[in-house]
Amino acid sequence: LLAPCKVLEKRGFEITYLKTGSDGIVSPLDVQKHLRKDTILISIIYANNKIGTIQPIKEIGKIKGKVCFHTDATQATNFLNLKVETLGIDLLTANAHKIYGPKGIGVLYKKSGVQIMPQIFGGGHEEGLRSGTPSTPLIVGMAKSLEIAQNIKNEESLRLCQLRDYFIDKVLKEIPIAKLNGHPMKRLPNNANFSFLHADAESIIIKLDVLGVSASSGSACEAQYQKDKKENRYSVRFSLGRQTNKKEIDEVLKVIKQCTNA
């Protein structure tokens, strides 16, 4: 979300960057406070890809007034409400590979009446917004993966929430140097992000990889979350998926303890 803002600033637009709480949540009241008469766009990620925090999109949608409201729902598509009318959303973006679909395809929902500039000029495809020959296989793959994700959303979210909470509880109880990043409850069902104090994240990730566990560095500073920069060095993200089970969680826990000398 930040790169387009930097481009707009170079073109003369004024951008307001909102701070978050220690849990990574943007306050709707803070959004309302910073709205100006000449504000034309609000853009807030639905759920953070690093620490999993879910933003109060519906609440922000209620106070935005006539300002165009965009959300990046890439991480939210598998689990959260996408009913744009009830959320108060004017623009919504998502992609396929985060919902087990093909790479290289995404979707933009645009509310009727919202005017946006074309991204690619040429033959006038996609109602003049993005010229170029559409990839039918990718489009079908996107639609099918979205259909499947929505059909199993409730059941899968509940299953993953139970596994996630079990995992988080075990890590915090059995690894003294572990600290959970993000909101303890208002987070994606598949996300568990920890800081392991006094243990470098990259070193832990390398050790985990050698022992067969895939994880990533969840540096919160990259997503503009106001957290201690020193602590960001120790942030590790674990993602759960449709194939994840309790046995695997227990095995991962053993490996983490080994990698952190817990």
> Which residue numbers are catalytic?
221
Helix intervals (H) in the chain: 2-10, 28-34, 57-63, 84-87, 136-174, 201-210, 229-232, 246-259
The label of the residue with tokens 């959970």 reads 180
Please tell me what DSSP assigns to residue 17.
P
Q: Coil, helix or strand for 232?
A: helix
Q: Both ends of the chain: CA-CA distance in Å?
A: 37
Segment (H or E) for 106? strand 106-110
Q: Which residues of 130-164 are buried (b: 16+ CB within 10 A; e: fewer)?
A: eeeeeeeebeebbeebbeebeeebeebbebbbebb
Q: Which residues lie closer than 8 Å to 134 by C-beta, 6 or more apart?
A: 125, 126
